[in-house]
Amino acid sequence: MSTILMKNAATPHSAGGKAILDAAIRLFSEQGFDGVSMRGVALEAGVSKSNIYHHFESKEALYLAIMQASAQSLSEMVETLAEGKGDFEQRLRKFAQVHLAHLFENAMTVRLLLRELFSGESKWQKIMAEQVVGGIFERLIGIFENGQKAGLLRAGVDPGLCATLILGIDLFYFQSYEMKKYPPLNRFDRPNEQFSEEMMDIILHGMLIPAGQRSLES
Amino acid sequence: MSTILMKNAATPHSAGGKAILDAAIRLFSEQGFDGVSMRGVALEAGVSKSNIYHHFESKEALYLAIMQASAQSLSEMVETLAEGKGDFEQRLRKFAQVHLAHLFENAMTVRLLLRELFSGESKWQKIMAEQVVGGIFERLIGIFENGQKAGLLRAGVDPGLCATLILGIDLFYFQSYEMKKYPPLNRFDRPNEQFSEEMMDIILHGMLIPAGQRSLES
DNA sequence: ATACTGACCGACCGGACGGTCAGTTTGCGC
DNA sequence: GCGCAAACTGACCGTCCGGTCGGTCAGTAT
């Protein structure tokens, strides 16, 4: 586990290496580790099965390389999560909006990581929890803690809970996206941006002190 | 798919049949369809592999039987979701509390169904969306629609969205439970009942019109 | 006794799996 | 052009997979 399981990992030297990674991430994200065969990856990548073993030591090493690449690309996504301009509420709305959009833009990667994160027991669960999810989580918590210091949060509202709710709803919305075409779940069907807006309307109204009543407390 | 794929399905006549179902639901919920072998099921159930084929026509038939049994047991769970006594807000809090508790009480079953529901593409996705998830969803929507008619919901708050948020948060909380032991996600760590309370504090405050301001609108 | 049934088993099958290896092709510094 | 490593291939291996088959055995109705 601690030894080097891959030979060149996320930075393949050749075109074939890149094709293998591309094919593997596509297949693994759709069908999971057990559902994918090395023959299938080779076919999808347009190379021979042996060639995969020239680049990666084993199926597990290939999977691990993809997980690492995915985790890294998602970590970089966190960097682009604009906390930027505007007041507290606008920053939060922007964060939720961008976060949800990023989930769908990196659908394959996200599905791959979520599958592993929620699969019960996984060696990489700890690492991913700390680095990938944790990064986003801490970022969002930071915003809420600033708001709390500024006296914008209602009494008894925990920044950690706030972050959990927003990230949880976004992830659930992403995960259950395919299911929304079936009744009665299709009764709630709108563009992603509108979902984010309406969701934040409710959430923020539940968390924040109304503008008219600020700094009334001690 | 339309033909009968199992011989006795969810109501096994013999002790062996029951043992097979028990073992299968345990293994499938932990490792998924591809991760489980019929030899593994036989070993876990304490019967021969051939015996499984005496009771079930194929691996897929066994899986389907388990999915149906799980879906049914979860559908029955919906019936016990007390909408009962108390005012609107108390009914909602009770619903969320009982729903979350049920998820953990039926953890294996829930994990099995969630895995299938969120796996992207599945033949049973439609059926399960309509019957299992849909049942809970409609029930919760019904409560919210009653509240809306009674003028308890803030303007622009959609009952469907409300139901989505509560169910989504509960499911996400259940799914991510194992991850909570790792930092920084462990910063938000409390008993399930307390989570449900605090979560509903925020959500309901965001959805409902405060008691003092009711029926002010036209 | 006989005939029949459902529960159950061990041995076996073809095929797909992950992985290996000897050998060929390709690209590149010299 | 030459040498050499990296890229790449097809044939092959042992193992495990889902599934089948012939048969045993207890119970039970005739």
CA distance A214 to A87: 14
Please determine, for residue A129, whether its predicted confidence score (pLDDT) is greater than 90. Answer: no
Q: Which pLDDT band holds residue A210 (cuts at 50, 70, 90)?
A: confident
Look at residues A112, A202, A138, A137 and name the one whose alpha carbon lies nearest to residue B202: A202
Query: A6 in helix, strand or coil?
Result: strand
| A42-45 CB contacts, 8 Å cutoff, 24+ apart | A45/A16, A45/A19, A45/A20
pLDDT tens for A9-35 read 556 677 767 899 999 999 999 999 999
Distances in Å between the Cα of B152 and the Cα atoms of A199, A213, B200, B209, B214 are 18, 22, 16, 6, 7
Compare CB distances from A129 to B161, B164, B185 and report the shortest one's residue. Answer: B185
Average pLDDT over residues B145-172: 94
Q: How far is the CA of A14 from the C1' of C27 (A)?
A: 11
Task: Give A201's contacts in chain B (Cβ within 8 Å).
Answer: 156-157, 206
* pTM of the complete model beyond 0.85: yes
CB A41 within 8 A of CB A23: yes
Nucleotide nearest to A41 (CA to C1'): C18
The whole-chain average pLDDT of chain B stands at: 86
pLDDT tens for A158-188 read 999 999 999 999 999 999 998 888 877 887 7
pLDDT tens for B74-86 read 888 877 776 667 8
CB B70 within 8 A of CB B109: yes
CB B16 within 8 A of CB B63: no
- Between chain A and chain B, the number of residue pairs with CB atoms below 8 A apart is 151
How many Cβ atoms sit within 10 Å of the Cβ of residue B121?
8
Compare CB distances from A161 to B158, B163, B199 and report the shortest one's residue. Answer: B199
Look at residues B30, B120, B104, B100 and name the one whose alpha carbon lies nearest to residue B66: B30
Within residues 10-39 of protein chain B, the ones with CB less than 7 A from nucleic strand D are: 36-39
Q: Residue type at A30?
A: E
pLDDT tens for A55-114 read 999 999 999 999 988 888 888 887 777 666 788 899 999 999 999 999 999 999 999 999
Please determine, for residue B4, whether its predicted confidence score (pLDDT) is greater than 60. Answer: no
Phi, psi of A32, deg, nearest 5: 75, 170
Average pLDDT over residues A37-65: 95
CA distance A33 to A67: 11
pLDDT recorded at residue A165:
96
Please determine, for residue A39, whether its predicted confidence score (pLDDT) is greater than 50. Answer: yes
Please determine, for residue B5, whether its predicted confidence score (pLDDT) is greater than 60. Answer: no
State the burial class of residue B149 (Cβ atoms within 10 Å of its Cβ: 0-12, 13-18, 19+). exposed
Neighbour-count burial for B162-201, b at 16+ CB within 10 Å, e otherwise: bbbbbbbbbbbbbbbebbeebebbebbeeebeebbebbbb
Distances in Å between the Cα of A94 and the Cα atoms of A89, A200, B209 are 9, 10, 26
Task: Give A207's contacts in chain B (Cβ within 8 Å).
Answer: 202, 205-206
Q: Which residue has the tokens 């409902």?
A: B208
Look at residues A182, A174, A186 and name the one whose alpha carbon lies nearest to residue B131: A182
Which residues of chain B from 128 to 187 reach within 8 Å of chain A, CB to CB? 129-130, 133-134, 137-138, 141, 154, 156-158, 160-165, 168-169, 171-173, 175-176, 178-179, 182-185, 187
pLDDT recorded at residue A173:
96
CA distance B215 to A156: 27
pLDDT tens for B26-45 read 999 999 999 999 999 999 99
DSSP of chain B, one letter per residue? --S--BSSTTS-SSHHHHHHHHHHHHHHHHHHHHH--HHHHHHHHTS-HHHHHHHBSSHHHHHHHHHHHHHHHHHHHHHT----SS-HHHHHHHHHHHHHHHHHHTHHHHHHHHHHHTSS--TTHHHHIIIIIHHHHHHHHHHHHHHHHTT-BPTT--HHHHHHHHHHHHHHHHHTGGGGGSTTGGGS---HHHHHHHHHHHHHHHHBPPGGGTT---
Task: Give B118's contacts in chain A (Cβ within 8 Å).
Answer: 114, 175-176, 178
